[in-house]
Amino acid sequence: MTDVTAEILLFEGFDELDAIGPYEVLKNGRAAGAALETRLVTLEDADAEFVTASHELRVEPDGTLGEPDLLVVPGGGWTSADGGVRTVVDDGAIPEAVDKRFAGGATVASVCTGAMILAEAGLLEGRPATTHHDALADLGDSAGNVVEERVVDDGDVLTAGGVTAGIDLALWLLEREFGAEVAEAVETEMEHERRGEVFG
């Protein structure tokens, strides 16, 4: 059986936990029996060896964005004047790349204000979606159907609320794709209890 490929797309100013939380969940999922390969990637070869996150954690990516089965887009920086998601949306290259992977058949998931990147890519039009509470109004202006839930599953597009909701999102993806036993094993390993029901 071929492994499912998951890539988490990093950019300057991403929120650490938005990316690293799901990364750890998905990696633990593999240890629990999921046929899943997870990588941290950038859109293209970075000028520097590391990507600097919003709280100044420096992360060395595994490579550049490929053609994953699952693409996870973190948030970070939408509510600040510069950097992070705000810069990514203004630049347009990452939203375009996300749309291209989606059109190619990838399931796309966002954490926190990563939803604003999905909105810019046109993936949320007419869909239920959520984001960090500070950006719900902006998401409504961009995409319309805002749902104030922790995790929203609309099939090939999923969104999660702020920061730690990415852990619940990744656990739900493990359950959806590989079964409840795998997700529960990871929950136990990480001593994490999911909050709320998944919308969708």
**pLDDT by residue (tens digit) across 75-119?**
999 988 778 999 999 999 999 999 999 999 999 999 999 999 999
Nearest Cα to 51, choosing from 100, 87, 97, 101? 87
The pLDDT-based confidence of 127 (bands split at 50, 70, 90) is: very high
The pLDDT-based confidence of 1 (bands split at 50, 70, 90) is: low
Q: How far apart are CA 68 and CA 157, in angstroms?
A: 14
149-189 pLDDT tens trace: 999 999 999 999 999 999 999 999 999 999 999 999 999 99
Instruction: List residues with catalytic annotation.
Output: 112
Is pTM, for the whole model, over 0.75? Answer: yes
Where in the chain are the domains? 4-190
Distances, alpha carbon 54 to alpha carbons 4, 58, 59, 136, 168, in Å = 29, 9, 11, 20, 21
For 49-75, the DSSP string reads SSEE-TTS-EE--SEE----SEEEE--
**Strand 107-111 with 36-42, pairing:** unpaired
Q: How far apart are CA 124 and CA 70, in angstroms?
A: 16
Q: What average pLDDT does range 53-57 have in this prediction?
A: 96
Q: How far apart are CA 87 and CA 66, in angstroms?
A: 22
Spatial contact of 89 and 117, defined as CB atoms under 8 Å apart = yes
Residue 46 has pLDDT above 70, yes or no: no
pLDDT computed for residue 80 by the predictor: 80
pLDDT computed for residue 15 by the predictor: 97
pLDDT computed for residue 47 by the predictor: 65
In the CATH scheme, what architecture does the domain 4-190 have? 3-Layer(aba) Sandwich (3.40)
Beta-strand (E) ranges in the chain?
Answer: 4-9, 36-42, 51-52, 58-59, 63-64, 70-73, 107-111, 151-153, 157-160
Strand-pairing partners, residue 183, are none
Q: How far apart are CA 55 and CA 71, in angstroms?
A: 23
